[in-house]
């Protein structure tokens, strides 16, 4: 199903390269920009010769400019990072399905799949050890039996089965300009139009470059112009991934086709480029370099594809079970279609498509206070770190998260990975994979709330892809029905724990159920009943069945998760709070889904029985929500993971409104953990403080995320770059201003004192409602509720409740006046 969908949105002609939206972006501060170019000569990220640089889990990227000062573009399938140097423009290039690993790395495909240990029979011994108080034995048995033979490090086996997301190479465009002679330089990303522009002047000539990636046509477009004729004397060069082999073929003198295969798994990939010039000459040499001489302007079209095909029913005996696309054909068709349009048509269709998503939601914070809007982004961050307020920078970061999600996750391809889809090396931090113990989930926290539900569809497809292999993992390790997955996933259905015996990170049985909660969440926001019936319910039911079978039914009649962990933190336990919270969430989702569809009454009764038999959340000796079954929490522990607060966020079984004592205990945990951490961790704690309805503390976390977890190009830093913090930040701001998880819609539940005036429009609440919020002097002025499904609406603001019936397609205006909330229109 990969990208065989290219929707034609209708041509919208533009007479110039400027977009109407770009003026708005500049005036509203929705632009990321730099006033100095990156150097044309970079650190060679490939290393010496054919030996790739392998980034360690916490290693800094070898090309600092790429990580800190490049600007990303993408359409969910292909992406690039624009460097904006003067003499040699360069940009790294990615195709999101270009992965090493998978069943084609081994002679017998079954040996790729047959790596689950038959460990289910050991569970009784582990549980007996817990019953005997022999935690050491239970831990040892878990470590020895609940891993696999597959290593995670790329140099630990040959060939490397798990694999990694890998770069599609780098483009360089030699301009013949002087590296040192320039003035008036700017490199900008306009968020409202998804357009990167580089401008500068040299020897009286004004040069401009524009970059965008088109979703309708699946091409990257790179345009070079100047205000004088015959100034474009360029040579475009493409450097492929060094761990691949392929050939360049010139096409019609104005372009090339690079036809290649990865060495590791023989994945077939194709990159095409073509130049379209006004005036001058264009030709391509035998090495695939495209030469432009004396042109008035030129734009390059670039596209790529692999032979990868998502497969929801993989054949465990077929090494090509994820092969199903001819990239020579697809790229040829995309290039032909794009080349039949003018630059103005390509830009217009790109803008129409993108703006239809991005333009749904707007955020303004203290609009009368402009902050540092006229400053380059790095200098804005410098000022912000010193304590200078910049509310438009805070709204910029919010919208940047939405931009990144649109750019890295569109229907028809894989979900956003640990770096979205941007990568500049053969291998990278954590294989640039899909981590199922917070990271890929956090990527999608802002999708539905910020009105980008289409962008969550790739995650749903990715979950579907893990079900069949996940059934084998559930059976082998737990003797369970249903399906689950483990800490790290790739694009080839890998659901097994890895080889490492460190169970603090390599053992997370409820990773599958956590993913499945996103399926119900998607339905809850969209109320797409056909989706729930035909796709969603089976995923939820399978995760719930696994959860029931995984739990230990103890002699006292209770159900507990044994063995279990609190991911990346602490010991093996017989009832970690995190695991119980996730299981509660998926069982509640399954119960509600079965009621909605009026199916599986007997299964529902079983889920309800188990849910009632689970132990309640426990409050420890410090007043904290306990992380483990025993009260062993350390009040001085500032670990980045706050797994046991899952029930507070992203779950919904703890709330200051519905469970105030547990919410108070969750607050104690957050106080102990502190307001610092890695970027993504601050993003998670931001959401949790928002759920506690402490706007000022949530704002502190948001500020810390910007000050201490953000690079100059606003990318989140773990370090290194890891995109989930961006998405967590955007989700957290939404939670500060709108919540709908506790059975009602709460307006401005965690509004900080400093955001005294503002508006947030076009955000979505559960029940398929879209809301526009306006506030002044820290009080709601009015709200507009747009009903998508005609359901009853239950609103809460400052302790006042308002309930009213709605009709699908109608809007309702609410007003806060004299301490009352009323429908006024």
Residue 387 lies in a domain: no
Residue 83 lies in a domain: yes
Residue 241 lies in a domain: yes
Same domain (yes/no): 801, 666: no
Nearest-angstrom CA–CA distance, 294 and 278: 9
Say which residue the tokens 């028809």 belong to: 412
pLDDT for 370 equals: 81
Same domain (yes/no): 645, 782: no
Q: How many CA atoms lie within 13 A of 382 on its CB side?
A: 5
Among 396, 18, 29, CA closest to 199:
18
DSSP 624: P
Contacts of 94 (CB under 8 A, 6+ apart): 74, 78, 79, 80, 167, 168, 421, 422, 423
Angle between helix 457-465 and helix 511-526 axes, rounded to 10 deg: 140
Number of domains in the chain: 3
pLDDT for 25 equals: 55
pLDDT for 41 equals: 72
Q: Distance of CA 291 to CAs 234, 282, 284, 295, 337, Å?
A: 6, 6, 6, 11, 23
Among 66, 715, 69, 33, CA closest to 377:
33
Residue 525 lies in a domain: no
Same domain (yes/no): 706, 771: no
Name the token pair of 600. Answer: 């599986």
Question: Which DSSP string do the residues of 605-619 spell out, in sequence order?
Answer: HHHHHHHHHSPPP-B
| CA 449, 544, 583, 484 torsion-angle sign | negative
pLDDT for 59 equals: 52
Same domain (yes/no): 720, 771: no
Nearest-angstrom CA–CA distance, 404 and 357: 12
Same domain (yes/no): 299, 178: yes
Same domain (yes/no): 639, 717: yes
Nearest-angstrom CA–CA distance, 189 and 33: 6
Name the token pair of 738. Answer: 């709108």
Residue 216 lies in a domain: yes
Q: Distance of CA 573 to CAs 23, 127, 176, 177, 693, Å?
A: 56, 10, 64, 64, 31
Q: Distance of CA 115 to CAs 264, 490, 656, Å?
A: 19, 15, 44
Same domain (yes/no): 700, 766: no
Residue 647 lies in a domain: yes
List, run by run, the mean pLDDT of 10-residue segments along the chain (825 residues).
36 35 58 96 47 42 93 98 97 98 96 96 98 98 97 94 97 96 97 98 98 98 98 98 96 96 98 98 96 98 98 98 98 98 98 98 95 93 97 98 98 98 95 97 98 98 98 98 98 98 95 98 98 98 98 97 96 98 98 98 98 98 98 96 98 98 98 96 98 98 98 96 98 98 98 98 98 98 98 97 98 96 94
**Structural domain harbouring 656:** 621-729
pLDDT tens digits along 459-507: 999 999 999 999 999 999 999 999 999 999 999 999 999 999 999 999 9
Same domain (yes/no): 336, 287: yes
Residue that finishes a domain, picked among 337, 362, 387? 362
Among 90, 98, 32, CA closest to 66:
90
Same domain (yes/no): 701, 815: no
Among 91, 64, 67, 30, CA closest to 213:
91
Peptide bond into 639 cis (omega under 30): no
Helix (H) or strand (E) holding 734: helix 724-737
Say which residue the tokens 């926001």 belong to: 525
Residue that finishes a domain, picked among 305, 329, 362? 362
pLDDT for 61 equals: 82
Nearest-angstrom CA–CA distance, 222 and 171: 11
Angle between helix 511-526 and helix 577-597 axes, rounded to 10 deg: 40
Going by DSSP bridges, is the β-strand pair 268-278/255-262 parallel, antiparallel, or unpaired?
A: antiparallel
Residue that finishes a domain, picked among 675, 705, 729? 729
pLDDT for 28 equals: 61
Same domain (yes/no): 724, 766: no
pLDDT for 371 equals: 80
pLDDT tens digits along 175-203: 999 999 999 999 999 999 999 999 999 99
Same domain (yes/no): 670, 766: no
Q: List the CATH number of the domain containing 212.
A: 2.70.98.50
Residue 430 lies in a domain: no
| Dihedral (Cα; 386, 387, 388, 391), 10-degree rounding | 130
Whether this prediction's pTM lies above 0.85 is answered by: yes
Residue 11 lies in a domain: no
Among 110, 111, 112, CA closest to 102:
112
Same domain (yes/no): 173, 237: yes
């Amino acid at each position: 199903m990969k990208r065989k969908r290219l929707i034609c949105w209708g041509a919208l002609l533009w007479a110039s390269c400027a977009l109407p939206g770009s003026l708005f972006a500049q005036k509203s501060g929705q632009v990321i920009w730099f006033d100095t170019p990156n150097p044309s000569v970079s650190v060679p990220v490939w290393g010496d010769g054919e030996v790739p640089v392998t980034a360690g889990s916490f290693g800094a990227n070898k090309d600092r400019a790429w990580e800190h000062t490049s600007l990303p573009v993408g359409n969910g399938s292909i992406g690039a990072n624009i460097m904006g140097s003067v003499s040699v423009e360069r940009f790294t290039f990615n195709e999101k399905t270009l992965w090493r690993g998978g069943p084609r790395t081994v002679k017998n495909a079954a040996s790729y799949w047959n790596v689950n240990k038959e460990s289910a029979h050991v569970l009784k011994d582990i549980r007996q050890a817990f019953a005997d108080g022999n935690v050491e034995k239970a831990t040892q048995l878990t470590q020895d039996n609940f891993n696999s033979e597959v290593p995670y490090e790329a140099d630990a086996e040959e060939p490397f089965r798990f694999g990694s997301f890998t770069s599609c190479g780098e483009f360089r465009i030699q301009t013949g300009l002087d590296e040192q002679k320039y003035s008036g330089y700017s490199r900008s990303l306009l968020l409202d139009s998804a357009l990167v522009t580089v401008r500068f002047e040299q020897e009286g000539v004004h040069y401009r470059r524009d970059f965008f990636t088109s979703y309708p046509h699946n091409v990257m477009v790179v345009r070079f112009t100047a205000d004088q004729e015959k100034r474009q004397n360029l040579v475009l060069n493409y450097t492929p991934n060094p761990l691949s082999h392929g050939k360049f073929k010139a096409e019609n003198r104005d372009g090339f086709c690079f036809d290649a295969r990865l060495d590791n798994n023989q994945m077939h990939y194709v990159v095409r480029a073509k130049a379209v010039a006004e005036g001058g000459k264009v030709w391509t040499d035998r090495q695939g370099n495209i030469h432009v001489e004396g042109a008035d302007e030129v734009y390059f079209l670039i596209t790529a594809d692999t032979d990868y095909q998502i497969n929801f029913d993989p054949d465990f005996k077929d090494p090509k079970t994820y092969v199903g696309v001819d990239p020579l054909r697809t790229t040829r068709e995309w290039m032909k279609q794009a080349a039949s349009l003018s630059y103005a048509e390509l830009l217009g269709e790109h803008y129409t498509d993108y703006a239809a998503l991005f333009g749904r939601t707007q955020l303004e914070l203290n609009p009368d206070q402009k902050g540092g809007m006229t400053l380059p982004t790095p200098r804005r961050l410098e000022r912000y770190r010193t304590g200078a307020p910049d509310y438009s920078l805070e709204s910029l970061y919010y919208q940047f998260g939405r931009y990144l999600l649109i750019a890295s996750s569109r229907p028809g391809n894989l979900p956003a990975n640990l770096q979205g889809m941007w990568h500049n090396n053969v291998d990278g931090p954590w294989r640039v994979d899909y981590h199922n113990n917070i990271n890929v989930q956090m990527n999608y926290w802002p999708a539905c709330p910020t009105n980008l539900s289409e962008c969550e569809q790739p995650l749903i497809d990715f979950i579907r892809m893990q079900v069949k292999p996940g059934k084998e993992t559930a059976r082998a390790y737990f003797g369970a029905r249903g399906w689950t997955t483990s800490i790290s996933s790739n694009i080839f259905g890998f659901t097994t724990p890895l080889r490492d015996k460190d169970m603090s990170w390599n053992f997370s049985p409820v990773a599958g159920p956590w993913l499945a909660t996103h399926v119900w969440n998607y339905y809850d926001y969209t109320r797409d009943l056909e989706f729930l019936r035909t796709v969603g319910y089976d995923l939820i039911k399978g995760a719930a069945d696994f959860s029931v079978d995984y739990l230990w039914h103890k002699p006292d009649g209770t159900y507990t998760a044994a063995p279990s962990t609190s991911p990346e933190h602490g010991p093996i336990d017989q009832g970690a709070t995190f695991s119980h919270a996730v299981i509660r969430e998926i069982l509640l989702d399954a119960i509600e889904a079965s009621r909605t569809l009026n199916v599986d009454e007997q299964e529902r009764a079983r889920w309800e029985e188990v849910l009632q038999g689970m132990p309640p959340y426990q409050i420890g000796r410090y007043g904290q929500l306990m992380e483990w079954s025993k009260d062993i929490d350390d009040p001085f522990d500032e670990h980045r993971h706050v797994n046991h607060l899952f029930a507070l966020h992203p779950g919904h079984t703890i709330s200051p409104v519905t469970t105030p004592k547990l919410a108070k205990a969750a607050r104690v945990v957050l106080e102990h953990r502190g307001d610092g951490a890695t970027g993504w961790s601050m993003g998670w704690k931001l959401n949790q403080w928002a759920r506690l309805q402490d706007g000022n503390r949530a704002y502190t976390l948001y500020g810390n995320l910007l000050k201490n977890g953000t690079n100059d190009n606003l990318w989140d830093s773990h370090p290194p770059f890891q995109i989930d913090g961006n998405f967590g930040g955007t989700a957290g701001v939404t939670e500060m201003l709108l919540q709908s998880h506790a059975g009602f819609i709460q307006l401005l539940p965690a509004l900080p004192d400093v955001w005294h005036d503002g508006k947030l429009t076009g955000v979505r609440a559960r029940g398929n409602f879209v809301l526009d919020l306006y506030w002044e002097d820290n009080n709601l002025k009015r709200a507009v509720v747009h009903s998508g499904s005609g359901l009853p609406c239950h609103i809460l603001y400052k302790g006042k409740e308002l309930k009213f019936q709605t009709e699908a397609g109608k809007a309702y205006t609410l007003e806060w006046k004299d301490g009352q909330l009323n429908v006024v229109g």
